[in-house]
Amino acid sequence: MYTKQRYSISDMAKWTRRETVLLALIAFLPVVAYEVFDQRWLHLPWLPIAVVGTAVAFIISFQNNASYDRVWEARKIWGGIVNTSRAWGVVVKDFITNAFADEKVSQAELDAIHGELICRHIAWLTALRHAMREPRPWEEALQHPTNKEWADMIGVREHRHSLEEELEGNMPPDELAFVLSKSNKPAQILSLQSKRLRELRTRSLIEDFRHMEMENVLIELYALQGKSERIKNFPYPRQYATLNSTFMWIFVILLPFGVMFEFDKIGAEVAAAYPLMGKYFVWLSIPFSVLVMWVFNTMERIGRVSENPFEGTPNDVPITTIARGIEIDLREMIGQDPSKIPAPIEPQYDTQT
């Protein structure tokens, strides 16, 4: 997530520099053929180009709205994970007590149980964010050279550290081996939490009502995980994505053939008062065409890179930062030694991951 008020002009120029060079070439070649090689037949009427441009504007707008909806839904889901995780910390700390126990246990053992359940929840968060970072066939944003440059600068944690490496210390070795052997690792961690609650109920460290309430929290976490997986595993419909890109490039290729003819007509009128300017006025169609093409191309690309909100680009939901914030809250909640509590993740190049 980009944290400044807006991207700078230099950032936008760097991000789109490859496309800008290509667009300049597309705008330049027709004018050379038209003016230098005197191919005066090489033009198109403006009206059909304008119709295509209007259609492209509509479909790009539809794509951007749909992409924003996906990003916003993902952010709401992870906002729910934040709230439910805090609720989990509260019920772990306040529900698991000696109040209903037949055989009392020491406070040290209670603290150990609290720490175990909290650490396992942190392991769930870790497994979930790693699952959300796993690439899908339709996720191509980080394959683009300029997007990859940015990703390399900000350093997406899940791309640099393995899940096993990050889970160590939050789970016993036997549980870690069990979880890593499964396909849906976050779901298995929640299953282990439920199993542990059943054991605590057997020991009467939680009674029926509290047990049900804590299971309801786990059920809510399952629901939030499922919603997050829904966004991850179901892309923006590929038929729309294909048409958006195809129609945009059709418009981009056709545009210079209409713009240069309009500029040539204007140049003929200007030549009456300023002959030299009128003679070369058609060349001004190149920067104008590039500007219009750049606007359409950039809007289409913004929608494309925003389709998948967990990929790890500057426009995505910062799930690593969110998960670290939850971890800090939970560890502080159970009174863990401050020296063992990790620091918040600082933005890199004004970007939270």
Q: Answer whether residue 273 is part of any domain.
A: yes
Sign of CA dihedral 178, 180, 181, 186: positive
How many Cβ atoms sit within 10 Å of the Cβ of residue 303? 22
Q: Answer whether residue 315 is part of any domain.
A: yes
Q: Answer whether residue 350 is part of any domain.
A: no
Domain that holds residue 33: 9-340
Sign of CA dihedral 178, 228, 193, 327: positive
Q: What is the pLDDT along the chain (353 residues), one digit of tens a residue?
A: 777 788 888 888 888 999 999 999 999 999 999 888 888 888 899 899 999 999 999 999 999 999 999 999 999 999 999 999 999 999 999 999 999 888 899 999 999 999 999 999 999 999 999 999 999 988 887 777 777 777 777 778 888 889 999 999 899 999 999 999 999 999 999 999 999 999 999 999 999 999 999 999 999 999 999 999 999 999 988 888 888 899 999 999 999 999 998 898 888 888 888 888 888 889 999 999 999 999 999 999 988 888 899 988 888 899 999 999 999 999 999 999 898 899 998 888 777 88
Q: Answer whether residue 18 is part of any domain.
A: yes
Q: DSSP letter for 101, please.
A: -
User: What does pTM read for this prediction?
Assistant: 0.91
DSSP 3-state assignment of 59?
helix
Bridge partners of 158, per DSSP, are: none
Q: Answer whether residue 13 is part of any domain.
A: yes
* Number of domains composing the chain: 1
- Give the pair of three-digit tokens for residue 288: 């104008």
How far is residue 6's CA from residue 208's CA, in Å, rounded to a whole number? Answer: 52
321, 54 Cβ separation under 8 angstroms: no
Q: Answer whether residue 277 is part of any domain.
A: yes
